[in-house]
Structure 1
Amino acid sequence: MPPVSQARLRRTLRAAEIGIEIAYGAPVTEILRVIREQGARLVVMGSQGRGFIEEIFLGSVSHNVARHSPAAVLLVPAKR
Structure 2
Amino acid sequence: MSGRIVVGVDGSAPSLKALKWAAGQAALTGDSLHAVTSWEYPATWATALPGVPPGFDPEQLAKKILDESLDKALTPDQAARVTRTVVAGNPVQALVDQSEGAELLVVGDRGHSGFKAAFLGSVSTNVAQHAACPVVVVRGTYTER
TM-score exceeds 0.5: yes
Q: TM-score, structure 1 length as denominator?
A: 0.62
RMSD of aligned alpha carbons: 2.8
Distance 1:77 1:12 in 2: 20
Counting aligned pairs with the same residue, the percent is 31
User: Any idea what the Cα deviations from partners look like across 1:22-70, whole Å, max 9, x if unmatched?
Assistant: 212111111111112xx1010111012xxxxxxxx73600110001112
1:24 aligns with 2:88: yes
Q: Which residue of 2 aligns with 1:70?
A: 132
Q: What are the ranges of 5 or more consecutive residues in structure 2 without an aligned counterpart?
A: 1-24, 36-84, 111-117
Distance 2:94 2:26 in 1: 30
Distance 2:135 2:26 in 1: 19
Distance 2:109 2:26 in 1: 26
Q: Which residue of 2 aligns with 1:40?
A: 102
- The offset of 1:13, in angstroms, is 2.8
Structure 1 residues 11 and 43: alpha-carbon distance in aligned structure 2, compared to 1, 3 A threshold: closer
Distance 2:86 2:95 in 1: 10
Q: What are the ranges of 5 or more consecutive residues in structure 1 without an aligned counterpart?
A: 1-9, 49-56
Q: TM-score, structure 2 length as denominator?
A: 0.36
- Hey, which of these two has a bigger chunk of strand by percent? 2
Number of matched pairs: 62
Q: Runs of at least 4 residues of structure 1 off by over 2 A? A: 10-14
